[in-house]
Amino acid sequence: MTLTLQQGVASLKKKLGEGKKRRTYLRARAQALLGGLPKDLVEGWEDRPDFKCDVLRALSYEAGSVAARTYSTTAMPTENSLREDLWHMAEVLQRAAEVERTLKDEATSKGVPTTKRVKESRLEHTGLDGFRPKDGSDYVAHIPQRTITKSRAHEVLVRRFGEYIEKRGFVPITEKMHPKDLVLRQAGVEWLVEAKTVKRGNPTTAVREALGQLSEYSYFLYERQRQAKPHLLGLFTEDIKAYAPYLEERGIASLWKTVDGWAGSPMAVACGMVDEQ
């Protein structure tokens, strides 16, 4: 089984046919797209699909794969591992879409266009005040007296949530908010958000870290600075189950990613961040 980031092939039929020309074009364009992506983002995703099929469309899909990972059906990874891979590939897709806007096809004498990058592009989020999430690459966050290495999944979570919550009337802000992950503002009310990745389906560590950091930041960055105490929100990559009421009793709302969108605790529902399930 192969998880692959693909280019469309059907629209090229009229221009390049279905044979070698189309595959040559797709292969070169795949390399151009791949070359524009951060190396660490696609490290470990260099597999080439082999569909063991002579159908022309299948051969074109083999040629058009930008990034891929192949799994043995006799030794499939866990559901959590597959979920993480899907989230990762969704991030690759978005970044590849940005690279694609910098590509230009130039005609050649052989009838197969050459693909070249013509400019650099920066990911922007129009309409989001001060929301500039990091690029998804692993990075090191320095906080007084400790250093935390944050994974790519953390940044994907922050970006997706920011884009989602803005549509519900909240203003997500990341610029000049370090060491806070994210701040939300709505009608003069401020929410302090701490995002955590749930690893291997066990939310215990993620919840403990979120609880500690939210309490710490609220005290040192607000109370000690004589600023109004913010509302607190823990943001997670998946359902934290019994820990949701645990956080609520400590005055912390929680919200998590689901297959279909987002879900959250009663406090998150009450303030309009998610709909009641």
In tens, the pLDDT along 1-21 reads: 999 999 999 999 988 999 999
CA dist 209 and 237 (Å) reads: 14
In tens, the pLDDT along 41-86 reads: 898 999 999 999 999 999 999 999 999 999 999 999 888 888 888 8
The DSSP H or E segment spanning 250 is: none
What does the block give as tokens for 272? 């309009």
Q: Cα Rg for the chain, rounded, in angstroms?
A: 22
User: What mean pLDDT comes out for the span 131-138?
Assistant: 57
User: What mean pLDDT comes out for the span 27-51?
Assistant: 91
Predicted confidence band of residue 263 (pLDDT cuts 50, 70, 90): very high
- Before 230, cis peptide (omega within 30)? no
CA dist 130 and 69 (Å) reads: 35
What does the block give as tokens for 5? 């980031």
Predicted confidence band of residue 147 (pLDDT cuts 50, 70, 90): low
- Measured in residues, the chain has a length of 277
User: Which positions ≥6 away from 117 have C-beta within 8 Å?
Assistant: 32, 35, 36, 99, 102, 103, 104
Say which CATH topology domain 139-270 has. Trna Endonuclease; Chain: A, domain 1 (3.40.1350)
Nearest to 60 by CA among 13, 94, 99: 13
Q: What are the boundaries of each domain within the chain? A: 2-117, 139-270
The pTM score is 0.50
Q: What is the pLDDT of residue 260?
A: 85
User: What mean pLDDT comes out for the span 137-163?
Assistant: 68
Q: What is the pLDDT of residue 247?
A: 97
